[in-house]
């Protein structure tokens, strides 16, 4: 906890911040059904990569939403790719400029998997027992704050976009204007790996100039409290194919003579990580910095969630036993996304398969680079007797080597992590501490990955992460949802940031 | 090689056997297209378990085929299950009775996978380069013996049924009648695991009384020479499910904290077998008898096939390195049929899956029992920290244990292996040696599994295996086929057995 915090409570500024919060809250409490209906209209515009026309309709809708609030707004075009939305709100006399990032695109959907079968028809639901039950949106009155809006994009990541709009409305309705220069940058390709964001950033450097970026994506804390995250892990995908016999063989006539690619794959997978989660690739942890004292203190000050999560997830144990989730995600990780060989159960045949496949995602921490990790993994496999190829293995290669593996790497992103005592870190936490009347949660890093490294390295600007969606929002899955209280909290937090961040972020002139 | 063999060549009996073979061959050479057309008509009757009416049509067709050759024949009914076909040919003065087994049912088909899309429309094809090219069946003349008939059941296992019929025809045409009592038993449920064969055997003990069974299923040797096999490995299936978190988790936010069931499965699979094929389950090899001197001599006398197979299958290495295929299949085996967890490649998601599945088939050798293997495997997993359940794991079980696995065992069959110096072994090899003018190949066991143990244990009768289908007949797969030369060899061999087996099988009266 920062020393100014206890002091701040004694000063009028803190009282002012809480008055602001209460007024924003009253404003919202008077129009909850209206907000849900308007949000449902926005969610009705499909936002998947396979439907670029609808993506563009999202972008132009957001331009309209910004302009309606007096924000100068336009599209930042990027050839054939989805445009970003840019908005700007200049404040006379402000000395700080912040870019607020969110994304309007969502993960692919399979409507058959969704309850109701219509991922873009937003539906309000309440939990009754263990069942989410459809609810009509009333004409007026308060809503159950534990109710949720179900639709693709509801949590990830249209929620910050609408919360920002209502924060602007609430400020205006209570006679205020923001006290900082605000730029909005809403991306349309985050779920596709932000593959074409760099040209947008490079072509609009002057437009995007700012003191810091506020990255509004990801989940709030599992305790349902707001959190600020100072970084995100990097990520990198890896696909492996291990080769077996050229044609599938009868397991009786050729079993325990012809090598089984699934068995070889199990051996390979097991060689990468022990069952306790320790990565066994030589040199993998060499670049990993130990957590700072401030990071450790922050992590250990978080509300305990591990026991409740273990119970909810039916986990008899976690990796590295006593280590906390928040500590574990400060380390790099290696996750097995899938394995595919032969068939199981009713489809299983008594056969030796021709190949076996595995898919991994690495999670990287600061100082680890995708290039270096790639070379360590390949060296590990070679040291374990594997012949490594990056294309389909040729007949000659298969005949010449005992064990042959094809490796296909994803592009890879580095991690980002800003210090907890950077000016933007201090300003944001002070603003939220003041608004909440208690310290906002501080997590050194999210476990997940965001295009933060791309933005940081392209623009050279510090970046902090402030998520508002519930952690259990089924992001990327069927029945994605947003808990109403998370939306309400987001509106109040954005209003506080717009009004108070500048005051906590003095520009030190030399 | 048996001592009588060299001697046999000097005696008139051997010359008689070769004269018989030559006459059978001449008879067949005069009507190859007719045989292929008639076989195609038989193959046109679908023989999959999902079509019981067609299975029954196969059975009644075979009854007709037998009756046409003067064999007393009828169906052995078995309630709702496919009937067996029984036939009997008594020979006045004969002292030995043999039951000849084959099966008329085939593996399931997916017509889309088959070239031509019609697995029951038999098609003659010749290899041109690397391609099998459709051939019309000419009205008369000789056929390319390397041509093949493609259809479900062509190799496995209608081939012995038709070869037996043409052997009878050839004998009759050359003025002979069989010199042994022959019973025919053609099963209709072999590919469904012979699940209901026991009542048929038990209800027809007197009818099936014999000195030995000749089991006509499986492949000839990879060198394309005829072989006699004195046993088959037993088999047993195992399905495993390893549990992960109750719901799929984001691999960034929960990776390296929540256990990944795929990683746990890889560890489990790796604990069962080393990459060289050695099974690591404590006690697994305890019951395994070492091969006898005669078995080892037989195996080492087989034509070398390992190098050619390795080249054909693109194998840079085999398990246990220098061990021969024929030696390896005398040992028990553990084959991974499949693994399924999450997704790979384009479908892979950055997630920790809720469960991971693996499927295995064990291959057992004499003295190993399914019950004992089950208890060894479960003890091995428990010793490795697994909680083992045989039903879906309950929430309480998942919460109480670090690692939880569900095990589902198949029924399991024991191995059979008769001694190479049993009277039936000696009689059959002597008959075939004499017919071929050189020793028939002797393999102590097939690597694959057949319902031999069920028959042996139910009827207490010795059983030897004499296959005629080519080893590369795609049995159980798409584009199953029979090489014509294998059919021709089968006709000659069955004629020899019918005429000469009794002579090599003296009944020693006390």
Closest CA to A203 of A99, A76, A97: A76
**Residues B387, B405: contact at Cβ < 8 Å?**
yes
* pLDDT attached to residue A5: 46
| pLDDT at residue A70 greater than cutoff 90 | yes
* pLDDT attached to residue B15: 74
- A3-108+117-232+416-504 fold: Aminopeptidase (3.40.630)
Average pLDDT over residues A403-418: 95
Q: Does B356 touch chain A (CB under 8 A)?
A: yes
- CB contact under 8 Å between B399 and A325, yes or no, is no
Average pLDDT over residues B414-423: 94
SS3 for B459?
helix
* B119 Cβ contact partners less than 8 Å away, ≥ 6 residues apart: B109, B111, B151, B152, B478, B480
Helices marked H in B174-305 — which ranges? 197-203, 251-254, 261-272, 293-300
* pLDDT attached to residue A11: 57
CA dist., res. B434 & res. B436, Å (int): 6
- Candidates A218, A221, A232, A255: best to mutate against B (most CBs of B within 10 A) is A255
SS3 for A323?
coil
Confidence category of residue A509, pLDDT binned at 50, 70, 90: low
| pLDDT at residue B336 greater than cutoff 60 | yes
| pLDDT at residue A262 greater than cutoff 90 | yes
Q: Does A278 touch chain B (CB under 8 A)?
A: no
CA dist., res. B439 & res. B227, Å (int): 9
- Residue A252: which of B248, B349, B447 has the nearest Cβ? B447
| pLDDT at residue A307 greater than cutoff 80 | yes
- The share of chain B scoring above pLDDT 90, in percent, equals 89
| pLDDT at residue B11 greater than cutoff 80 | no
Average pLDDT over residues A271-294: 94
Tokens read off for B136: 């019309």
Q: Give B428's Cβ-side CA count (13 Å radius).
A: 30
| pLDDT at residue B3 greater than cutoff 50 | no
DSSP H or E stretch at residue B132: strand B131-135
Chain B, window 366-405: residues with a beta carbon less than 8 angstroms from a chain A beta carbon? 395, 398-404
Residues of A with Cβ-Cβ distance to B399 under 8 angstroms: 310-311, 314-316
- Residue A338: which of B335, B342, B395 has the nearest Cβ? B342
- CB contact under 8 Å between A257 and B329, yes or no, is yes
Q: Give the predicted TM-score (pTM) of the model.
A: 0.90
Is there a common fold for B3-232+416-504 and B234-288+331-409? no
Q: What is the pLDDT of residues B220-261, one digit of tens each?
A: 999 999 999 999 999 999 999 999 999 999 999 999 899 999
**Residues B146, B126: contact at Cβ < 8 Å?**
yes
Please state which of the ranges A10-19, A159-168, B161-170 shows the lowest mean pLDDT.
Answer: A10-19
CA dist., res. A156 & res. A125, Å (int): 18
Confidence category of residue A510, pLDDT binned at 50, 70, 90: low
CA dist., res. A334 & res. A337, Å (int): 9
Closest CA to B317 of A85, A263, A430: A263
* pLDDT attached to residue A209: 97
- Beta-carbon contacts below 8 Å between A and B: 309
Q: What is the pLDDT of residues A489-505, one digit of tens each?
A: 999 999 999 999 999 99
- CB contact under 8 Å between B311 and A399, yes or no, is yes
| pLDDT at residue A7 greater than cutoff 50 | no
* pLDDT attached to residue A2: 40
The three-point CA angle B135-B139-B145 to 5° equals 50
Confidence category of residue B2, pLDDT binned at 50, 70, 90: very low
| pLDDT at residue B407 greater than cutoff 70 | yes
Closest CA to A329 of A364, A301, A361: A364
CA dist., res. B334 & res. A256, Å (int): 7
- Residue B266: which of A269, A312, A398 has the nearest Cβ? A269
Closest CA to B496 of B24, B30, B89: B24
Q: What is the pLDDT of residues A20-57, one digit of tens each?
A: 999 999 999 999 999 999 999 999 999 999 999 999 99
- CB contact under 8 Å between B449 and A353, yes or no, is no
| pLDDT at residue A6 greater than cutoff 60 | no
* pLDDT attached to residue B413: 92
CA distance B248 to chain A (A): 9
Tokens read off for A360: 């991994």
> Residue ranges per domain, chain A?
3-108+117-232+416-504, 234-288+331-409
| pLDDT at residue A478 greater than cutoff 80 | yes
* pLDDT attached to residue B510: 57
Q: Does B469 touch chain A (CB under 8 A)?
A: no
Average pLDDT, chain B: 94
CA distance B157 to chain A (A): 16
Domain A234-288+331-409 is found in CATH 3.30.70.360: yes
- CB contact under 8 Å between B250 and A320, yes or no, is no
| pLDDT at residue B53 greater than cutoff 60 | yes
CA distance B156 to chain A (A): 13
Q: Does A407 touch chain B (CB under 8 A)?
A: no
Q: Does B300 touch chain A (CB under 8 A)?
A: no
* Architecture of domain B3-232+416-504 in this structure: 3-Layer(aba) Sandwich (3.40)
- For strand A97-103 and strand A212-215, is the pairing parallel, antiparallel, or unpaired? parallel
CA dist., res. B116 & res. B95, Å (int): 49
Q: What is the pLDDT of residues A135-191, one digit of tens each?
A: 999 999 999 999 999 999 999 999 999 999 999 999 999 999 999 999 999 999 999
* pLDDT attached to residue B509: 65
Closest CA to B11 of B506, B504, B380: B504
| pLDDT at residue B9 greater than cutoff 70 | no
Q: Does A13 touch chain B (CB under 8 A)?
A: no
Tokens read off for A142: 């308060």
SS3 for A465?
strand
Instruction: Give Cα B82 to chain centroid, integer Å.
Output: 20
- Residue A359: which of B331, B337, B345 has the nearest Cβ? B345
Confidence category of residue B32, pLDDT binned at 50, 70, 90: very high
* B399 Cβ contact partners less than 8 Å away, ≥ 6 residues apart: A310, A311, A314, A315, A316
Average pLDDT over residues A89-108: 96
* pLDDT attached to residue A321: 82
CA distance A261 to chain B (A): 9
Residue with tokens 């976690």: A318
Confidence category of residue B328, pLDDT binned at 50, 70, 90: very high
CA dist., res. B203 & res. B208, Å (int): 10
């Amino acid at each position: 906890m920062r020393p100014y915090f206890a002091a701040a409570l004694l000063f009028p500024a803190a009282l002012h911040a809480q008055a602001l919060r209460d007024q924003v809250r009253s404003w919202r409490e008077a129009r909850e059904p209206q907000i849900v209906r308007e949000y449902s209209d926005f969610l009705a515009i499909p936002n998947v990569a396979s439907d670029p026309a609808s993506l563009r309709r999202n972008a132009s809708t957001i331009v309209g939403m910004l302009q309606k609030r007096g924000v100068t707004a336009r599209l930042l075009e990027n050839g054939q790719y989805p445009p970003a939305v840019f908005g700007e709100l200049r404040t006379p006399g402000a000395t700080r400029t912040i870019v607020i990032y969110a994304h309007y695109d969502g993960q692919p959907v399979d409507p058959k998997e969704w309850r109701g079968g219509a991922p873009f028809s937003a539906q309000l639901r309440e939990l009754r027992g263990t069942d989410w039950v459809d609810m009509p949106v009333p004409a007026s009155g308060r809503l159950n704050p534990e109710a949720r809006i179900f639709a693709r994009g509801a949590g990830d990541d249209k929620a910050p976009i609408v919360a920002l709009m209502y924060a602007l409305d609430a400020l205006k309705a209570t006679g205020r204007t923001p006290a900082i220069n605000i730029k909005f940058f809403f991306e349309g390709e985050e779920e596709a790996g932000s593959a074409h964001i760099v040209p947008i950033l490079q072509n609009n450097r002057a437009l995007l100039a700012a003191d810091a970026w506020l990255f509004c994506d990801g989940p709030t804390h599992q305790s349902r409290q707001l959190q600020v995250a100072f970084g995100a892990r990097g990520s990198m995908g890896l696909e492996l194919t291990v080769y077996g016999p050229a044609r599938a063989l009868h397991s009786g006539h050729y079993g325990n003579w012809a090598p089984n690619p699934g068995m070889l794959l199990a051996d390979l997978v097991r060689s990468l990580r022990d069952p306790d989660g320790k990565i066994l690739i030589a040199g993998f942890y060499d670049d990993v910095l130990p957590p700072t004292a401030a990071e450790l203190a922050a992590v250990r000050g978080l509300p305990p969630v591990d026991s409740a999560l273990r119970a909810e997830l039916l986990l008899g144990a976690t990796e590295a036993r006593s280590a906390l989730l928040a500590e574990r995600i400060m380390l790099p990780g290696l996750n097995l996304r899938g394995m595919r060989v032969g068939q199981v159960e009713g489809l299983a045949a008594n056969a030796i398969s021709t190949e076996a496949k595995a898919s991994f995602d690495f999670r990287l921490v600061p100082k680890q680079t995708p290039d270096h990790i790639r070379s360590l993994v390949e060296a590990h496999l070679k040291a374990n007797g594997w012949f490594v190829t990056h294309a389909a293995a040729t007949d000659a290669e298969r005949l010449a080597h005992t064990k042959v593996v094809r490796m296909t790497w994803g592009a890879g992103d580095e991690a980002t992590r800003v210090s907890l005592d950077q000016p933007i870190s201090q300003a944001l936490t002070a603003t939220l501490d003041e608004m909440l009347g208690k310290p906002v949660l501080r997590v050194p890093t999210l476990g997940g990955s965001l295009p933060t490294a791309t933005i940081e390295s392209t623009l050279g600007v510090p970046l902090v992460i402030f998520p508002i969606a519930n952690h259990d929002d089924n992001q990327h899955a069927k029945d994605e949802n947003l808990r109403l209280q998370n939306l309400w909290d987001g509106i109040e937090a954005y209003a506080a940031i717009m009004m108070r961040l500048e005051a906590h972020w003095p520009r030190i002139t030399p």
